[in-house]
Amino acid sequence: MNKDQSRGRIEQANGRAQETIGRVRGDKNQELKGKLHKDLGRAQAQYGDLQENIKKTKPHT
């Protein structure tokens, strides 16, 4: 697991928590910020996954 994968998944979890707290409190701004962080974390994790897949498929020369 590379740093983009781990940081992205942590950001996803933090965003999910922030989104839930915003929903419970009725704070739409916090809920939207949480959703944004969750989506950005997902993108970063997917970028890390792509890097790992490229490393695995590179021929060893």
Residue 58 is predicted with a pLDDT of 83
Q: Which two tokens stand for residue 1?
A: 């697991």
Q: Of all helices (H) and strands (E), which one includes residue 41?
A: helix 28-57
Residue 59 above 70 pLDDT? yes
Residue 48 is predicted with a pLDDT of 97
pLDDT tens string 19-50: 999 999 999 999 999 999 999 999 999 999 99
Does the global pTM surpass 0.95?
Answer: no
The Cα–Cα gap between 35 and 50 comes to 22
Q: Which two tokens stand for residue 30?
A: 């916090």
Name the residue ranges covered by the structural domains of the chain.
Answer: 3-57
Residue 11 above 80 pLDDT? yes
